[in-house]
Chains A and B, each alone.
Chain A
Amino acid sequence: MNSKTQNKIAIGALYGIAGFVVLILLALLGYILVSGMPQLSWHFLTAPAKAFLKGGGVGVQLFNSFYLLFLAMLISFPIALGAAIYLYEYAKDNWLTTTIRTAIEILSSLPSVVVGLFGFLFFVVKLRLGFSILSGAFALTFFNLPLLTRSIEDSLRTISETQREGGLALGLSRWETVTKVILPAAVPSILTGVILSAGRVFGEAAALIYTAGQSAPALNFMDWNPFNISSPLNPMRPAETLAVHIWKINSEGIMPDAKAISSGSSAVLVLAILIFNFAARYLGKRLYKRLTSA
């Protein structure tokens, strides 16, 4: 067999594998969307859920998902950014940083249900935060930190060493080089990492069941005082998210239209992540343009 035929066979095989992956993805996505889209309506997206009757919506769950995502990112992003900058830009390669990296790696492969149970014992019970958005956000932070740190560190790694030399040789301090040269250049790549981890966080259920809870008390969307219990912004209220909702109605849902709501919720979840992705990518490009060239 000559190398030309070999090449053709290899290309064919690779096409086959890639096609197979795309096929699985499309089938899954298609199934979710086809069975879920018909359920979608303004009512479904905004109405509160009903426990026994049909016709409930996922408004509260949807809001909870976004709010939890926002809080979790608010907590984990600065920490991950700081950790990544320290690890890549400052830390020397020694046993300490090796230990930190190994710890991050182990933490990132921790099953999310373990993170959830830890969150339950520590935040919910020990720190008496109860089933609350805050407990959920902390649990998600634990879940999210390792991946986010790794991805930001990888983003920093993609910026050429010559840029660092250029900054330092210009009489910038290391900190100025990092914040004024490296970070602006790394923004699109960092943002991609944030989006990917946001998708994971948005769809996470197991870590939230025991921390943010499985109940979604009705919210008063006119009340934006975070200290009121019915306010959407109150971080101390229990908050079932969309992903947890899907899990719950599939395991113990007793409303007559449980199947339809579950399909609809799945479609909303997938669509939200898709929209989120595109929006963030667009934003990343705009941001990069603004940061890098006037």
Chain B
Amino acid sequence: MSEEILTTQDLHLYYGDKEALKGINLDFTEKGITALIGPSGCGKSTYLRTLNRMNDLIPNVTITGTIKFKDQDLYSPNADTVQIRKEIGMVFQQPNPFPFSIYDNVIYGLRIAGEKDKEKLDAVVEKSLRQAAVWDEVKDHLHESALALSGGQQQRVCIARVLAVSPEIILLDEPTSALDPVSSSQIEATLLNLRHDYTIIIVTHNLQQASRIADRTAFFMNGELVEVDQTKNIFMNPAKKQTEDYISGRFG
């Protein structure tokens, strides 16, 4: 059993008066893929965004409970959100490359952090793009705008951009829901490659996707964590009735 890298205890989140997360207890061990599934509005994306404090950007959000990343309390008053987000990167539903070249997109985090060594940057670009399985497609036009790429390529460049700052955890918020099936399966292949080196947490609407790539799956409903287990168990032999109903398509 590997070490727990991220733990959440009794996590509540309120949008104004509305309670969106009702006491989540969920731990993540190092490496591997955990999928968060559940019907729309169940709180899985909200939960994901608490893990690198992206919910800070939304006004009127109150969060109670503790999230610990390697014994560091993410919500302690002196937590450094910038540092946290370097170690816990995020990929979004809509591919959001910056309006720069592919090369600049990938090294953006590093360059702003002050890295100037051209050789090192070149190496990082190649390594990250290879890891994100998009190198072969873009290697000949690294200095063209990333906006000219297809949606699937853009999304993989966004993954490469996150990899370039070498995070420990990568959060993905429905990364394939805006993509066509071919691009989606390329992203899935990318994630399967990365699962040995990174702790990956992915929110997905697509149950097949979860069953294909995730080692563990957590089922959310109405702001509560219903069940979390090995993916195989969740899909073949769920412990809770609600999970079974959802998996078998009886609602949601």
Query: Chain A residues in contact with chain B, CB under 8 A?
Result: 92-93, 160, 162-173, 176, 180-181, 184-185, 292-294
Contacts and interface: CB of A to CB of B under 8 A. Distances in A.
Count chain B CB atoms within 10 A of each CB in A92, A165, A169, A173 and give the residue with the most: A169
B59 A170 contact: no
B203 interface: no
Count chain B CB atoms within 10 A of each CB in A167, A168, A181, A293 and give the residue with the most: A293
Nearest to A186: B99
Contact of A293 (B82, B94, B100, B161): B100
B75 interface: no
A171 B143 contact: no
B235 interface: no
Nearest to A171: B86
B104 A293 contact: yes
Report, nearest first, the 3 A-B pairs whose CB atoms are least far apart.
A171-B86, A169-B90, A162-B96
B89 A170 contact: yes
B108 A163 contact: no
B158 A166 contact: yes
Count chain A CB atoms within 10 A of each CB in B54, B87, B100 and give the residue with the most: B100
Contact of A163 (B57, B85, B98, B143): B98
A205 B76 CA distance: 57
7 contacts: A162-B94, A165-B90, A166-B96, A168-B54, A168-B57, A173-B82, A293-B143
A156 B108 CA distance: 20
A155 to B, nearest CB: 14
A272 to B, nearest CB: 32
Contacts of B182: none
Interface string B95-106: 011111101100
Interface string B57-71: 101000000000000
A169 B54 contact: yes
B214 interface: no
Interface string B69-93: 0000000000000111111011110
B99 A170 contact: no
B162 interface: yes
B108 A293 contact: no
B145 A293 contact: yes
Contact of B144 (A93, A173, A293): A293
B109 interface: yes
